[in-house]
C-alpha cells in the first residue's frame, strides 16, 4: 500500500483556522484557505482528517478511525 502524501498546505491552514477562529463560519475558513467551493473543501477535509470541518472544530483534533 502506498503512503499517503501530506495534507495540502491549504488544508493544514484551514485546520489551524478552524481551531483559532471560533467566530468564523466553515465557509469563511474554506474561502480564507483558498477554496471557493465549500462542498469540495468539505470532501477534501474529510478525506484528510477523517471528519468534517465542523466536527474537527468541535473536537479540536483529528478524528480518524483505523
For residue 8, CA distances in Å to 13, 14, 41, 53, 65 come to 9, 10, 11, 15, 21
Question: What pTM was estimated for this model as a whole?
Answer: 0.79
Report the 3 state secondary structure along 26-63.
HHHHHHHCCCCCHHHHHHHHHHHHCCCHHHHHHHCCCC
Residue 4 domain-assigned (yes or no):
no
Domains held by the chain: number: 1
**Residues 11-58: pLDDT tens digits?**
999 999 999 998 999 999 999 999 999 999 999 999 999 999 999 999
Residue 50, sorted as left (phi over 0), alpha (psi -120 to 50) or beta, turns out to be left
Q: Which residues form the domain of 31?
A: 9-59
Does residue 15 lie in a domain region?
Answer: yes
Residue 22 lies in a domain: yes
Task: Report if residue 1 sits inside a domain.
Answer: no
Give percent of the chain with pLDDT exceeding 90: 74
Does 7 have pLDDT greater than 60? yes
Q: State the CATH number of the domain containing residue 28.
A: 1.10.10.60
Question: Is 64 a domain residue?
Answer: no
Amino acid at each position: 500500500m502506498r503512503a499517503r502524501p501530506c495534507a495540502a498546505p491549504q488544508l493544514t491552514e484551514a485546520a489551524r483556522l478552524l481551531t483559532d477562529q471560533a467566530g468564523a463560519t466553515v465557509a469563511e475558513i474554506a474561502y480564507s484557505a483558498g477554496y471557493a467551493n465549500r462542498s469540495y473543501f468539505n470532501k477534501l477535509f474529510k478525506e484528510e482528517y477523517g471528519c468534517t470541518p465542523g466536527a474537527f472544530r468541535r473536537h479540536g483534533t483529528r478524528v480518524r478511525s483505523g
